Amino acid sequence: MPRSISRSCLECAVRGGDCFCTLEDDALRTLENLGEHVQVPQGTQIFREGFDPDKVFIVCKGQVKLTVTSKDGRLLILRIAAPGDVLGLAAALRHKQYEASAVAIEPCQLKWMVRADFFEFMKQFSEVGENSARSLAEEYRTTVMSARRLALSGSAGGKLASVLLEWAHRASIDKTQLKFVMPLTHEELASMAGISRETTTRMLTKFKGDGLITIHGSTIVIEDEAGMEQMFS
């Protein structure tokens, strides 16, 4: 079960750039008093595809995978949400069922608000509406990227290279190179790229052998960005 924690939105270091919580102090104080901050372990299902959207969630720490499932049980990872992202927003605004499921892929800290309270928050502060629109635009962009990768990247290598490069640009932990921590298993990475687990493992080995990437444990470094781009351009 989620565990409630104490955390100050005003002191949060995640804010800045396109983060949903980049708000003025008055709005942050109001946000701090809405809903709860909770801590959830890896593997926690935050919400489920097809269920009514009773809450909106902000990722404060950790990463969350958004997935959809076909009628025959096949799973596709649409995107990975990171700190500063808001989850369940589109479903809440449309008052329709969640379009995807959200699962923590590592221990996470979340801020949740009931749908009605979030709407009041939007009405009270225009900047919340602006940030919500920006968040929805980013969701649309990542959905288009996912569709392009699945439909237009002709090779398995191109699909996987696209995922790795997109991740590197979003979550690089080094300012001097494209270096990032990959929290997904090979099976999950395969689901995101739309290829098999065996192919994912084989292509990662090939990328290493060709000098395109280096892998140290769960850390991946893109060594030849241009070479990776050529695989799906």
For 37-87, write each residue's pLDDT tens digit: 999 999 999 999 999 999 999 999 999 999 998 888 888 888 899 888 999
Domain 153-230: top CATH class: mainly alpha
Predicted confidence at residue 166, as pLDDT, reads: 87
Which fold would CATH assign to domain 3-151? Jelly Rolls (2.60.120)
Give the mean model confidence (pLDDT) for residues 84-102: 93
pLDDT at 6 over 70: no
For 120-176, write each residue's pLDDT tens digit: 999 999 999 999 999 999 888 888 877 777 776 678 999 999 999 988 888 877 778
Per-residue burial over 188-216, b = 16 or more CB atoms within 10 Å of its CB, e = otherwise:
bbbbbbbbeeebbeebbeebeeeebbeee
Distance CA 152, CA 155 (A): 9
Give the mean model confidence (pLDDT) for residues 23-27: 91
Beta bridge partners of 68: 76
Predicted confidence at residue 1, as pLDDT, reads: 42
Give the mean model confidence (pLDDT) for residues 210-216: 96
CA distances from 143 to 48, 170, 200 (A): 18, 15, 21
Predicted confidence at residue 211, as pLDDT, reads: 96
Give the mean model confidence (pLDDT) for residues 183-203: 93
pLDDT at 16 over 70: no
Helix (H, G, I), strand (E, B), or coil: what is residue 170? helix
Predicted confidence at residue 17, as pLDDT, reads: 66
Predicted confidence at residue 233, as pLDDT, reads: 66
For 112-129, write each residue's pLDDT tens digit: 999 999 999 999 999 999
Domain boundaries defined on the chain: 3-151, 153-230
Mean pLDDT of the chain: 89
